[in-house]
Amino acid sequence: MSFRFKAIAAAALSLATLATGSLAQAADLPVKAAKKPADLPFFLVIDNRVTFSWMPKGTDPGMWSVRPDGSINGTTAKQVYSFTHFDLWAYGTNFFTISMFKSGHNDPASPCVAPGVNIGGTASDCAGATEIYGLFRSTFGWNEIFNTKAFTMGPLHNISFEVGMDANTENTFLAPAKRDVVAGLQFAFDLPYKGYINVAPLMYWEFSNHNAFTQCGLFGPGVAGVTCNSDGNVSYNPTWAVEINYYMDLGFLPPNMQFWSISGRAGWYGPKGDSNGLPALSGTGIFSTKSKTELNSEPIRLTFDASKAVWGDKYSHFVDLWVAYRYWQNKFGLDHNAMAGVCTVAATGQSTKSCTESTVYGGITVKF
């Protein structure tokens, strides 16, 4: 098994936290002429991991409170539990992750519609919300499909077809139920120190979601499709996306310190239409509900290979300790300068600080 795929499996966890960002790892299988195809197992690599991480300043759009000094608190601590699967087979890769995000009280579960307030407008001390998010990506390498090395030249390692999908659910009053698909290409490049960077231009289509606040009957009967959605379900337009991820060992360190690696990811997702599915209600300025280009990124993650440091190379990446920086602008496509009542305070236009996520967080990953 080539180092490239060991590294890919080791770095797969960094993509699990994009679970809310629609980004995944995938790479391509080099030609292995030493064995006949019949001698190869169906899966050349199978890598499963579990992770616990803690995010001190997560956000959930529209969930914010006012501190005693009058400042706005738009963040909430989140505990994240993840399972990640990566496999490599003769024609490409598969990556799957499912995560549970457990929020603090500043991101309350239903029936609260805001911290400490229920749908009836009375005080309630609701528990923190729980979100389940799943993400899947698959690649099919051109070198493998066409039995050639024509798509390997210079730093270019391979070109692949890429497909995938995302889904989530959360027990807030909003009750989101995101469903999307992606399809496009992936360009895999080699980096120094046996690293890689993958760039994937994609078509992104969030064909279904749910927003209970737009449901007909909540604020009067309304006109379905004009002033409200009949069942709260919202659909969006297909748009473009670009997903990038990378991994590299810090191979320039002395041999007795080569337990460190860096990795990261970024995903840009184009405007997908009106954020509540009701363009007729979209105003201008802070009252606009048009979606904006979304950036979901973890530009850098520093990983310490604890198992290699303690038990040697044989146990590399069995136990990883890591710290990362996460930046998410226009979260879920919501305009952080508009979306009155969600991203901004309707009366003043002040930011609620809930549509941008900027936090340092860390965790532990165990391979099994």
Give per-residue pLDDT as tens, 276-313.
999 888 999 999 999 999 999 999 999 999 999 999 99
Residue 307 to residues 77, 286, 313, 365: CA-CA distances in angstroms?
Answer: 28, 51, 8, 11
The total number of structural domains in the chain stands at 1
- Asked if residue 8 lies in contact with residue 289, where contact means CB atoms within 8 angstroms, the answer is no
Q: Which residues contact 157 (CB under 8 A, 6 or more apart)?
A: 4, 27, 28, 188, 189, 190, 196
- 10 belongs to a structural domain: no
Residue 362 CA, chain-centre distance (Å), reads 16
Residue 95 CA, chain-centre distance (Å), reads 13
Structure tokens at 235: 């659909």
The whole-number pLDDT of residue 321 equals: 98
CA distance 81 to 170: 15
The whole-number pLDDT of residue 220 equals: 83
Structure tokens at 234: 């919202």
Tens of pLDDT along 224-279? 999 999 999 999 999 999 999 999 999 999 998 999 999 999 999 999 999 999 98
Structure tokens at 244: 């990038």
| Mean pLDDT, rounded, of the chain | 91
The whole-number pLDDT of residue 219 equals: 84
Average pLDDT over residues 326-347: 96
- 65 belongs to a structural domain: yes
Q: What percent of the chain has pLDDT over 70?
A: 89
CA distance 196 to 151: 16
CA distance 269 to 280: 23
- 299 belongs to a structural domain: yes
- Taken as a whole, the chain contains a residue count of 368
- 32 belongs to a structural domain: no
Q: What is the 3-state secondary structure (H, E, C) of 296-307?
A: EEEEEEEEEEHH
Q: Is the pLDDT of residue 33 over 70?
A: no
Tens of pLDDT along 110-137? 999 999 999 989 999 999 999 999 999 9
Q: pTM of the prediction? A: 0.90
How many other CB atoms are there within 10 angstroms of residue 79's CB atom? 17
- 69 belongs to a structural domain: yes
Tens of pLDDT along 133-152? 999 999 999 999 999 999 99
Structure tokens at 165: 């999908």
Residue (of 359, 349, 301) closest to 328 by Cα position? 359
The whole-number pLDDT of residue 25 equals: 39
- 186 belongs to a structural domain: yes
Q: Which residues contact 24 (CB under 8 A, 6 or more apart)?
A: 15, 18, 95, 97, 135, 136, 137, 164, 243, 245
Q: Mapping DSSP to helix (H, G, I), strand (E, B) and coil, where does residue 326 land?
A: strand
The whole-number pLDDT of residue 12 equals: 52
CATH number for the domain that contains residue 281: 2.40.230.20
DSSP state of 350: -
- 37 belongs to a structural domain: no
- 360 belongs to a structural domain: yes
Supply the range of the domain harboring residue 244. 47-367
